[in-house]
Structure 1
Amino acid sequence: MKVEDMLIELTTTPKEKPDLDTLVFGKTFTDHMFMMDYTEGQGWHDARIVPYGDLTVSPAAMVFHYGQTVFEGLKAYKNEAGDVTLFRPDENMARLNASNDRLCMPHVDGDFVIEAMKKLIAIEKDWIPARPGMALYVRPVMFATEPYLGVSPSAMYRFIILLSPVGAYYKEGINPVKIAVEGEFVRAVKGGTGAAKTAGNYASSLKAQEVAAASGYSQVLWLDGCEHKYIEEVGAMNVFFKINGEIVTPMLNGSILPGITRKSVIELLQSWGENVSERRLSIDELIEAAHNGTLEEAFGTGTAAVISPIGELAYQGNKTVINNNEIGPLAQKIYDTITGIQTGTTADTFGWRVNVPVN
């Protein structure tokens, strides 16, 4: 397939653009979406950009019964000059295909998908908020469509790209959030699907998140599924802790999502000469560091929030305040640098920024 050969059907009833002052994350969608289908023996076919709308899918589609679905998340940014950019979309495509491997789903051609994504974004360029902290969220999603009730990989799939103008993921913004350490429920275990970006991982996290929210906490911090001892990740973020000058993030072990922002932060810290480690970190070591004063900062990383400082941890009935519940200088520097690279206000010495032609 070639992007220039795609069917493009433009809407005749464009929607009103949202009020940016009241924009809620993930609730508003643009006028168009990208779609293509996969059939075993034929491969991917019928790539098209069409008006955004509901889907017609068989109630026997295997995604509903056996959960074969994966997705990605990235953002398109517009600066004051009107330039539009993406941040490391090749990494999203690599992770998407790694998820496809784990779920026994066919690979996509990452280069083709990125070009189709650019074309879709160019059509929807007027939907991209140009305000600081806002962007156009890009959601590729792929799912099994074969109508069959046998437990086996599907022979048919659909791939879609949705676009959604967004503001801050957390209502707190860049201000520190409160996190509850989860001691009962398990998100994933080594050998499972924790390293894949698949819907079931998020469904299994909802109960703990609901319990935490009832106590006023934004997210939960997951511990490992076997010993409930080692820190893994937060529901929507990877995590970093600065302990006595060492910046620690849990090592990837098969049950932690390999975040693209996580990878970028590690590479950025290394370029600054910081002491950054990917290793096992127990909750006991973390709490001890908080008590003896060596826990300097804590923050989460992810596409939606970029950097989210952690100001309070709740664990076993005790509350631990981190850095006086204020954003730390390292988290602020990382946030400013990455968002600057994303929007084009900071020099991109890594080659992470990808331009989207919109004229």
Structure 2
Amino acid sequence: MDGYEQVLNRFLRSESMRPWLGGVKSLSFNPEFADWDDKRGYRFFHDFAGRLPNLRYLIIDCADWTVAPHHPSTFRMFSQFPSVTYLEMYQTEFPSFNDFRRALSSLPSLSTLVLYNWNYRWFPLPHHELWQNASPQKRPVLRVFRIRFDLTQEELDVLFHWLLQTPSRLSIRDLAFSTLHLHKGPLRQPCIDFVDTVAPSVSTLRIDCREAISLRNFLDLHTLVVDMVPGQWEQLKGLLRDLPSRLRCLQLDSIPTLVLPAAGTLDHGLYNADSFTESHGHGVSQLDACLSLESLSELQTLELELSVQKLGTHLRREVESSRPYDLQTYFISVLEPFIEQPGKYLLWVIEDSVEDGIRNGLTSLRTPGREVELIMTTHRDCILERSPWR
């Protein structure tokens, strides 16, 4: 008896287990990690149709329906999972765009769609006239749409054009994407149409700071989350300058940050933390210029997530591993990359005053009558406690 047959016997055909199926609220489907050599696991949605009436959260991971056998009605069987509100698909491929569309449209309660993909083709492209002349659809009615994957511009055209034929064009409140900046050249019309159409209803937006879009149509935006990369303060300022609304919450994620050792912590005369910050700037002034924009005049919460590298830890590790004879020459060689490429980091801060150094540099937040909660978190080398705000 193979693995999938055991699943059917243990859950679907068992009198004792059948009542428990009604209590299943969350399911992660990953056929590639299961020992189902004949690929019958791809029949799951057909076999369990109508048996999980209270399933709300569905995650499909590494499913490839282009090579695996599946029942002809598999994608229509999604309609037999009436309570699913959240669908996340990661590295998933469909035989056709029509099958992809049918699966989503068949979920009657779907309100959150999350798509992640890298180096995969989600679906073969339909003939140009077929998707250009698509008729309006009743579903899905999305409130949350998050997309982060590598699609060709043509695939984005198809996906965005189809979504504009659904009620989602007016219902999306929470939008996140990080894919458009991967394409060189100006954005194509279907992408522009999608962003401009859904923008007025969006209250929460997450984007990469490199996205070449305008935020001028986000009329009701309250929360903006921006993924940062080196050398992008001007791009951030351009995004914020276009905003017609006044943000309440701004979250800047993955800010490349170099934490410099405090004075006296490195036993070598070549190192001087003040000279580093004076020579290269620590980026706080650029951030402060962004926070001075009119669109942020009513900001209530600012969260900075620092992506940290500690220079002191790096230097000590290098010295301990190489045990150089000429310490002076060695220190110069180790410090050169940081001196020559200051643009690698957006913030330069000193280790014993990270929070105070940033807070004191943001003078725009100390304007009389302005009250902004400043939250700083970090990943990698932990220097600050994570806030419960997220």
TM-score by length of structure 2 reads 0.21
Higher helix share: 2
Higher strand share: 1
Largest Rg, 1 or 2: 2
